[in-house]
Structure 1
């Protein structure tokens, strides 16, 4: 058996540099791609919503399910009103990215959740996983105005100005009430 040799030309120093740069670029690109595949996204849009997003001064109405890393559900609500700033930092940041009618998956690392502190069924240093739907949101001023209107309506129904027992109502106890003894 004979071996055929193929003469190779010598590689210039500049060509060797380019070869090494190409190898390094391929290694970096390959490791960056692998790293990107293992990174857990902290905010994922499942279904896009419409309109503006809530701000720090807003109150949101959401439907959510909260899970631990092992899949255990620690909390869920069909309609939960809450202030954007009244929750853990990671949840607040996520709420400000949402739009009305949208559905989202959120991952909150311990440092943006409860950290080293255990809270009820949530162990210390837990990563929290949420499925959230933003039903609606309003500014605090809108909510206060709605509350005032409801209080005024209740006063009217319970005998406030212009309602039963108000001006023009007959004097004395309401019908059927015990009469004072003489």
Structure 2
């Protein structure tokens, strides 16, 4: 009995000191948490602000038939927020895969800038194209976005998840779950830029 208890104590000490495994602690640091929260708060405010004070004609204006309107851009932002979050939740529920960290080739800042870069075009997945998004109106989309983003900001304030040791494969390569969180904020910035481009079009309605 003493031998078994001693063995358990030794194993506990090994776990505490990190000798029992090879997983490095990649939990979110205080500066990382601050950076992520700043990104999420700023991009939320900018996205909502881009739709303020616009008439229905302005919200529905398209620079060309194949282009998106301001309203469609916002629908895409709100719907994709939920889609990316679902991906993040599923990845965190899976077993950690620290062996995949070597496949992550971008820094946090590089990822954010890459997603924000509007010169690099990408096709939105079919479920997240405006024609397939079922919001009744802009107010509904804004409310949904607010609910989602508020919850996502709260998550980062309190989470103790080891986000760095959960790695996911994206079309452009591997990123960890902290970076996937950053991607959510950067994605809304990308399409906020798109909304502002629509508003800057010479043919955009005056009112």
Compute the TM-score of the two structures, normalised by the length of structure 2. Answer: 0.29
Q: Which has the higher contact order (CA 8 A, sep 6+)?
A: 2
More helix by share: 2
| Structure with greater strand percent | 1
Give the greater-gyration-radius structure (CA): 1
